Amino acid sequence: MHGCGGVGLSAVMIAAAAGARVIAVDISPQALALARKFGAAECVDGASTPDTAGAVRELTGGGAHLSLDALGSPATCAASVNGLRRRGRHLQVGLLPSPSGTTPVPMARAIALELELLGSHGMAAHTYPPMLELVRSGVLRPDLLATTTITLAETPTALATMDTAPGAGVTVIEPWR
């Protein structure tokens, strides 16, 4: 799991609830602490680990069965794919703009290891009822994702500093405050 923002932390929570052994990768210690709280078995600090894919391969004894990149930078996409084992599956959810306008995928590895590459922009409507049942029963706690609340007036500053002052969890904007 690369990228522990709101989407990534949601994926950590869901995967852990489904019984997966989750390895979270992020550059923010606060985001990694939340990932551990939400069920990540291992956390890799991308700021101090030069080869996060190698760390994932080591922690999994050869590579992950499934990787998910919730950020979508060229570096996280490559690291996520490079952390997979033979016939692993990669799910690309996030997609950041890059200078070239593309996010390169290490296709030589994808072909050599017969990897499956998938893209997604959200849940299918037919999967909502089982997911909502997990929320109702308390197995999933999306309320814990909201860690910061700001006013509508604070929003421009928060948006302008997102790339230099990453937070942890989800920021909720309360326009009535």
For 72-94, the pLDDT digits (tens) are 888 999 999 999 999 999 999 98
Strands 84-92 vs 23-26: parallel, antiparallel or unpaired: unpaired
What Å distances lie between residue 123 and 39, 115, 118, 120, CA to CA? 21, 22, 13, 8
Could you say which residues of the chain have pLDDT below 50?
Answer: none
Position 166 scores a pLDDT of 67
Position 44 scores a pLDDT of 98
- Tokens 């894919």 belong to 53
Number of neighbours of residue 103 by Cβ within 10 angstroms: 19
Position 3 scores a pLDDT of 94
How does DSSP classify residue 168? S
What Å distances lie between residue 165 and 26, 33, 162, CA to CA? 14, 17, 5
Distance CA 63, CA 122 (A): 26
Position 83 scores a pLDDT of 97
Q: Report if pTM > 0.85.
A: yes
Position 161 scores a pLDDT of 85
